[in-house]
Structure formats: structure tokens, C-alpha cells
């Protein structure tokens, strides 16, 4: 799974309708260009591809006052909404996602209901524990990595990664169960993760 599809669909969805520069600006505001493949070329390519796939609806609006070509604004379709939530749930559940995919999922976590998020994250913990168990069928952490030669360091790294991932996920679950954040269906002020059209990104280089 690529993080770019989730990031772009989520960014467009936050605006209702958004043009490519708005999406790029939002993702740079998140720092996504540093921790994912959300570079300008990838963002514009994803927008065009997902419009061809029916996940986004492209609207051409009036040319700029500077005389440039018509600007394209994108809107998430019903099919795109289904894809967005499928990608979001997968990002939160699957234990072996890359960090950029998990980060994208966490970024849009409040678009789901609180109880579902807890359930998805618990499934992630179960996956991590099962992965750890499969590693320890061949490697006994108490014996130390040296017992298998230097290759044992690989399995040692996997065990530590599983333990750290499970610990972090349990901490997030505890914070959510304790009432942290405002999730879908709870009312209150919605999370604003994007910039208004024309708003300067304070973190831009």
C-alpha cells in the first residue's frame, strides 16, 4: 500500500473541493514531504490518476487572472470515499505497514468513530504479537542474538520492533479510550489539518 493515495484523498476530502496546490500545501504543512513520497510530482500524478479511476471528480474552473490555464479542482466521489476509508482502516490495522502509511493513517484517524479506531488498533496489536511469536519460534530473545551468529541481530531487531510497535499502539489506545481527541459522530470542533486557500504555510522552506 502506498501512502500517497490515502494522503491525497484525505487532503481533498478535508476541503470538499481542492486544487493541486492546496493539496500540496496541506501535505507540506504536515511535513509529509519529509516522511513520505508526497513530493509535488507524486501529488499531481496521484490526483490525475485517481480522477481517471473515478475516485476523484475533476472540475475545470476559470483561468487565473494572470492569464494561466484553467485550474483544476478535485472532489472525492462516492467511490473515492469508499477507497479512502478502506485505505485508512488498512493503514491502522495491518501491523507491517511502512511508517509513512501508518503515519498517514494516524493523521486521518479522527475521520472514524472512536470505538472502531480502538478495535482496529487492537487488531494491529494482535498482528504484532503474532509476528513476534513467529520470530521467536526460531530465535529465543533470552539467549541473545549471538546464539545465531550475526544473523541473529536481524531477528533481535524484529522482536524489538514488534515490542516497540505494540507498546506505542497500546499507549494510543489508552489515550483514545480515556477521551483524547474528537472523533467522527461526536460533535465538537472538527480537526482542521489543512490550510485555507491562499493561507501561507508557516513551515514552508
**Cα distance between residue 17 and residue 46, in whole Å:** 15
- Looking at residue 74, its pLDDT comes to 94
One-character DSSP codes across 124-159 = HHHHHHHHHHHHTTT--GGG-GGGGGGGHHHHHHHH
pTM of the predicted model as reported, rounded to 2 decimal places? 0.85
**Cα distance between residue 191 and residue 172, in whole Å:** 18
Give tens-digit pLDDT for 99-134: 889 999 999 999 999 999 999 999 999 999 999 999
- Looking at residue 1, its pLDDT comes to 74
Amino acid at each position: 500500500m502506498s501512502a500517497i493515495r490515502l494522503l491525497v484523498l484525505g487532503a481533498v476530502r478535508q476541503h470538499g473541493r481542492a486544487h493541486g496546490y492546496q493539496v500540496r500545501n496541506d501535505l507540506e504543512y504536515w511535513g509529509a514531504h519529509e516522511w513520505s513520497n508526497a513530493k509535488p510530482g507524486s501529488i499531481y500524478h496521484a490526483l490525475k490518476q485517481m480522477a481517471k479511476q473515478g475516485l476523484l471528480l475533476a472540475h475545470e474552473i476559470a483561468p487565473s487572472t494572470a492569464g494561466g490555464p484553467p485550474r483544476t479542482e478535485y472532489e472525492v466521489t462516492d467511490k473515492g470515499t469508499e477507497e479512502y476509508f478502506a485505505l485508512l482502516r488498512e493503514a491502522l490495522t495491518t501491523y507491517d505497514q511502512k511508517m509513512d502509511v501508518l503515519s498517514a493513517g494516524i493523521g486521518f484517524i479522527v475521520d472514524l468513530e472512536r470505538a472502531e479506531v480502538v478495535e482496529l488498533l487492537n487488531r494491529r496489536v494482535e498482528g504484532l504479537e503474532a509476528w513476534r511469536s513467529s520470530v521467536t519460534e526460531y530465535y529465543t530473545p533470552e539467549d541473545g542474538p549471538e546464539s545465531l551468529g550475526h544473523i541473529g541481530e536481524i531477528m533481535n531487531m524484529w522482536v524489538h520492533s514488534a515490542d516497540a510497535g505494540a507498546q506505542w499502539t497500546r499507549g494510543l489506545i489508552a489515550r483514545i479510550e480515556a477521551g483524547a481527541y474528537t472523533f467522527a459522530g461526536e460533535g465538537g470542533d472538527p480537526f482542521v489539518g489543512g490550510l485555507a486557500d491562499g493561507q501561507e504555510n508557516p513551515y514552508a522552506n
